[in-house]
Amino acid sequence: MITYLASVRQFQIDTPHSTYALAVVDEGYLCHVYWGKRLAPQDMTALLRLSEGPFVPSKNNRERASFMDCAPFEYPVSGTGDYREAAFGVETPDGARICDLRYVSHRIYNGKYKSAVLPHTWGNGCETLEITTEDKLLGLTVILRYTVFEGLDAIIRSAYLENNGSRDITVTRALSASVDMDDSRFEMLSLYGSWARERQAERLPLRHGKQRLDSLRGESSHQYSPFFALVRPETTEESGEAYGFSLIYSGNFLAQAELTQFCQTRAQIGIQPEDFAWLLQTEGCSFDVPEAVLVYSEDGIGGMSRTYHRLYSEHLIRSKWQYQERPVLINNWEATYFDFNLDKLKTIADEAAKLGIELFVLDDGWFGRRDSDNCSLGDWTPDERKLPGGLKPLTDHITGKGMKFGLWFEPEMISPDSDLFRAHPDYAIGIEGRPRTESRAQYVLNMARSDVRRAVWAQMKKILDSAPISYIKWDMNRQLTEVPSRTLWHSYVLGVYALMEQLVTEYPDILIENCSGGGARFDPGMLYYSPQIWGSDDTDAKERLRIQYGASLFMPPSAIGSHVSVCPNHATGRNTPFDTRANVAMFGTFGYELNVAQLSDEEKAQIPAQIARWHSISRLVREGALYRLGDPFRPSGYAAQMQADYDGWMFVSQDSMQAVFTYVQITAEANMKSRRITLRGLKPERVYHFSLGGEEYARTGAYLMQCGILIPNLWGDMKSVQIMFNAE
């Protein structure tokens, strides 16, 4: 619900459990008033302290700069006295970088806007506030947008820019959200990492100055995620306040918290300004700012995560696979790498079909003369040496076995050793006279160019029309370098979105899984086009506990591509029980990445049961509420210096009639008793039936959440158990 209190010019945005308030103050400045636990509609403008010094400019103009440097601006600009980090900035042809936005008007309406070029939330049951601000001297209009969806403690923020003046304006900074909070008692929860070690959770107290996460790589990156949360020191998984910030964008980003001289916190998220510029010519030229999603939770970090999961599952993913059960796949990459032929692929497919696997995915190496990663990107024609007759003999064989077929592409890339590059070297991003930097022996195509996109699409479409392709793995294995202009960084992302939009429009039934060297583009922007994203190239079950925990802080588990792979694991060399590998992979999309023909008879015998178990819980993973019962990043054993010795999580159905609990004993210890785990998310009065250790039990939800269940010592590292709960 959005209300406007005209007497004090205050806007109040209410969600089921939170209130966000802002107000128009002296001379038309727009200031942030409050964000926190829900309050009844009322005048809260006293919180702005406008009666204290420095006074508002109309009453004490000699101290205007003091007012500008401490007022809690809703969308702060630079150049007029606010020396904190700005959310918005421009440059005029004479080099001036001064902007002064003032309130003009507002409107409140049911529904929301739809961007023509950017991924965005969608759906019914929402209400939007649009506040029009203007720099009259520049003739620049900035419309701030706020949308709330019914039943969700989230606010979607963005902005729309339009030049109505007589001069060109270059936008140098256009963040999606900025919030000035009259508080300093926060810790910052964020995610860092690297290739094969993405989304490692870190929580540190705020200090004076700026604490930032960002990407300058042309993608959201392995190193940081476009998400952070401000939490109270006492906040836990299930209690205390958490303020989440997430960006629906897949390129360079900035996420920052600044603790100021007055112990106030300015939290911001949006496009990274360092390599950004956008020319707004006259004649009504406009620019869409990506959406940011702000979430408030008084039910801890878990409550924040569950809000993000629901919002992104229900109002961002738009594929037919949004709620549809996805097939259990097998990917040949770790089974064969580039070394395969038709017979080898048929052998894997035959064994997979016998075991009940439903989708065969042919990964890298099927096109051009791709015997290694040194060549052929951009030449999307089947390699007849490996696949005589092209894809059809293979797809005929696979579909004849009752399986679907999927294919790997890397549409954004081009190899120096490729027919496409030899014909069109200008297609690759670069600067004339400077050598291009290779990474994985490849360059990046200039996706901002429509002719480049047309050339790539023509090849992809020919392949998609030649065979019954049900799934695409869209990969991107390097970052951008030698980008010739600050405009191109954003134009590149828009070009990728345009090509993906063409794919999902012309082939709406295809299931798309996004990938970027594993998890380098694991961001909400990609969910708009692909309902699942490969979580990481590290498929080791122990490492995946951390990677998937971090991902689930803001992304729905149904989006996390997760597979069972061979041991010793190709990334870590670790051996993990086959059943645990499956249990951990069931946190996400579930599939296999190995040569089933080379598994032991014991392992093969487990696969049909694993698939059956997955189908029994897959709806819970897609639509249920996640409760994290363990933290693989924190000590939880008998001694404080120990690493976490267990991890656990639950998925609970929306009606709380069914749940599944997975427990992983990370480290075994001598003389270790059973561990008591208290569950979450159940209905206290209901009786739940479950099986544990060969015994059948019936316990009330209250008992399970207060007294818990006893998990025995499982005798071995990375041993696990999965328990189903069904209510009467």
Task: Give catalytic residue positions.
Answer: 475, 537
Other CB atoms closer than 10 Å to residue 234's CB: what's the count? Answer: 11
**Nearest-angstrom CA–CA distance, 216 and 466:** 38
Q: Could you tell me which of 193, 298, 196 has the C-alpha nearest to residue 244?
A: 298
Q: What is the DSSP string of 152-202?
A: --EEEEEEEEEE-SSS-EEEEEEEEEEEEES----EEEEEE--TTS--EEE
Phi, psi (deg, nearest 5) at residue 149: -100, 140
**Considering Cα of 499, then 502, then 507, then 508, what sign does the dihedral take?**
positive
Estimate to the nearest angstrom the gap between the alpha carbon of 176 and the chain centroid: 16
Residue type present at position 371? D
Residues shown for the chain: 728
**Nearest-angstrom CA–CA distance, 134 and 140:** 6
Collect contacts of 485-488 with beta carbons under 8 A, ≥24 apart: 485/277, 486/275, 486/276, 486/277, 487/277, 487/278, 487/279, 488/429, 488/446, 488/448
**Nearest-angstrom CA–CA distance, 185 and 200:** 23
**Nearest-angstrom CA–CA distance, 575 and 542:** 10
**Nearest-angstrom CA–CA distance, 533 and 552:** 12
Angle in degrees, 0-180, between the axes of helices 450-464 and 486-506, rounded to the nearest 10: 30
Asked if residue 476 lies in contact with residue 515, where contact means CB atoms within 8 angstroms, the answer is: yes
